[in-house]
Amino acid sequence: MTLPLEGIKVLDMSRLAPGPHCTMILGDLGADILKVEEAGTVTGRRAEQAGGAVATPGIRAEANPYDALERNKRSICLNLKAPEAREIFYKLVKDSDVVVEGFRPGTTKRLGVDYETLSKLNSRIIYCAITGYGQTGPYASLVGHDINYISHAGALGTIGNKGGKPVIPHNFLADYAGGGIHGALGILAAIIARQKTGRGQMVDISMMDGVMLLMGSMLSGYFKQRKIDPRGESGLTGAQPHFDVYECKDGKYISIGSLEPWFYANLCRAMGREDFIPHENATGSKREEIRAHFARQFKSKGRDEWFDILSQTDICVAHVYGLDELEQAPQVKARNMVIYLDHPTLGKIPQVGIAPKLSDTPGQVRSFGPASGEHTDGVLKGLGYKPAQIAKLREAGAVK
């Protein structure tokens, strides 16, 4: 089966969520992903965090077949501070299409593996750097995590209930959407551009930028009106009773998104209060009267019973699923968004499925995530290194 990115070679130097998520997407679509991981012993602050000096590190020392972010990848361990290891990396770059990294700006330059250096070795190389704030600006070197990037992007300040503090939406927005998905998008655009120009380029991905792009519609409304809706007081954040989440009799939750007048009217009828229909945009006590009635009604039946009723009457409704329910969720099953892979010793391994559904060249999970350095010897042999040379490099700590 032909895969859409078959033949594209990617060197992945990233460690935390955004980069591996980006290269997972590329790998699912057929790219050959070679993770370039650390060799030797982790020291300094990271070792202290782990309780002392630890062997190789990034996130995993052994293969984890449940880790979807590591699938469809190979692994080589290089100590890029060693000249011998950098020479290996340079040889790999000459035969690669893409480099992905997620270090703080300036780190790769100190290691001698920055875009300027690598583009001289391979003018077709596409170099994607995924960072919190990008390569430029006063915050470029500022440390941070998802919570900080969505704060600077203005997203966190909009999320939460009326009168409450901002609510942290896990790390989906910056790490995965702002960083990982936008990184893959930028790389794909650069691949298409290279077909026209014959040249690679730098892809500068800022997670803050990505989150602001996700807020494009909201920001457009603000720029026009110059008006800020307080948290929990806009139409899309639960201000209206017909766009909210309700607890049902069984303690489970259901979400209602009946924004349009006809959906709202159907909801009122299903709730037994057709007299509420003229009050779609009610405020104050009337709005709270409607919300209180809806809340009482939803408490009268279980979540799944309510879904079966409302989904048959053209109402925007959904189960609020827990993670433990997704494998059996009908739409998830129909879309193959939980897949099962055969492992030689562990049997069937569940993983998240592939989201882009291409009709002619669909993606594919071809392998489980590797152990760190699992493919070091094979990669080096492919570059022409003899067993004695590999042993010498390993003894010197240049590879693992």
Please tell me what DSSP assigns to residue 38: -
Q: Among this protein's residues, is 250 annotated catalytic?
A: no
Structure-token match 């009828």, residue found: 269
Tokens 């009268």 — which residue? 300
| H/E segment holding residue 107 | helix 107-111
Contact 15, 58 (CB under 8 A): yes
What residues form DSSP beta bridges with 73?
Answer: 33
DSSP, res 173 = I
Two structure tokens written together for 104 = 């703080």
List 58's β-bridge partners, or say none: none
DSSP 78: B
Cα gap 264→223, rounded to integer Å: 29
Q: Catalytic site residue 279? A: no
Q: Which of 145, 279, 293, 375 is catalytic?
A: 145
Which parts of the chain are beta strand (E)? Answer: 9-12, 32-37, 41-42, 54-55, 73-77, 98-101, 126-131, 202-206, 243-247, 253-257, 317-320, 338-343, 347-352
SS3 129: strand
- Cβ atoms of 146 and 206 within 8 Å: the answer is no
What is the distance between the alpha carbons of residues 166 and 161, in angstroms, rounded to a whole number? 8
Catalytic residue among 28, 146, 175, 204: 175
**∠ CA 327-328-332, rounded to 5°:** 70
Q: Give catalytic residues, as residue numbers.
A: 145, 175
